[in-house]
């Protein structure tokens, strides 16, 4: 098989799927540079994601997020940990489908709740988790089809971050 080695690897999925942890490990394993999209937005705006959500709203944050993602089009040898909403925006989907080897880290809803709420005060939760569980579940269900349409799916519920990382290396041909 003569497969092209991906120059960009993007991890997509819902909150708590392990995107950040796996991306860091993958960066070390491949020698690719690790980029956290939320951190990139924070660097570019000089404000935290929470502050942007609170002061300017989600729509403005999504605009900043898209702008930050587009700056990565020409960079090679990078592993990108995205926000859960990044691929939901129509204008970002081309990046994931054409410009990156994209992996959808699937986490079940119950496992996501365990991971994201474990030992946290409500004030420490990500902005989209500060709503009733039913609202979170609706958001989760809405996003799944988009994730599945853009990335190679890896189930994370019973896998260690290193097992997931190894699977990505195998699937990507690195």
In a domain, 3, yes or no: no
Confidence of residue 29 (pLDDT cuts 50, 70, 90): very high
End-to-end alpha-carbon separation of the chain, Å?
13
- CATH number, residue 123: 3.40.50.300
Residues 58, 126: contact at Cβ < 8 Å? Answer: no
> Residue 149: inside a domain, yes or no?
yes
- 16 has pLDDT over 70: yes
By percentage, how much of the chain surpasses pLDDT 70? 89
Whether 84 maps to a domain, the answer reads: yes
Question: Per the domain annotation, does 83 fall within a domain?
Answer: yes
pLDDT-derived band at 2, boundaries 50, 70, 90: very low
Confidence of residue 1 (pLDDT cuts 50, 70, 90): very low
Residue 1 lies inside a defined structural domain of this protein: no
Q: Determine the structural domain holding residue 95 and report its residue range.
A: 8-172
Task: Say how many CA atoms lie within 13 Å of 62 toward its Cβ.
Answer: 13
Q: How confident is the model at residue 6 (pLDDT cuts 50, 70, 90)?
A: confident
Nearest in space to 88 (alpha carbons), one of 109, 107, 69 = 69
Number of helices followed by number of strands (H, E) in the chain: 8, 5
The domain total for the chain is 1
């Amino acid at each position: 098989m003569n497969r092209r080695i991906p120059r960009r690897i993007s991890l997509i999925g819902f909150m708590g799927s392990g995107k950040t942890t796996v991306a860091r490990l993958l960066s070390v394993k491949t020698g690719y540079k690790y980029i956290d999209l939320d951190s990139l937005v924070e660097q570019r705006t000089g404000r935290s994601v929470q502050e942007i959500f609170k002061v300017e709203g989600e729509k403005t944050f999504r605009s900043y997020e898209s702008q930050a993602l587009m700056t990565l089009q020409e960079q090679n040898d990078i592993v990108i940990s995205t926000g859960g909403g990044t691929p939901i925006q129509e204008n970002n989907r081309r990046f994931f489908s054409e410009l990156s080897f994209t992996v959808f880290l699937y986490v079940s809803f119950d496992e996501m709740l365990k991971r994201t709420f474990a030992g946290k005060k409500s004030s420490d939760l990500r902005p989209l988790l500060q709503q009733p569980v039913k609202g979170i579940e609706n958001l989760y269900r809405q996003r799944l089809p988009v994730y599945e349409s853009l990335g190679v799916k890896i189930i994370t519920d019973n896998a260690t971050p290193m097992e997931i990382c190894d699977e990505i290396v195998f699937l990507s041909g690195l």
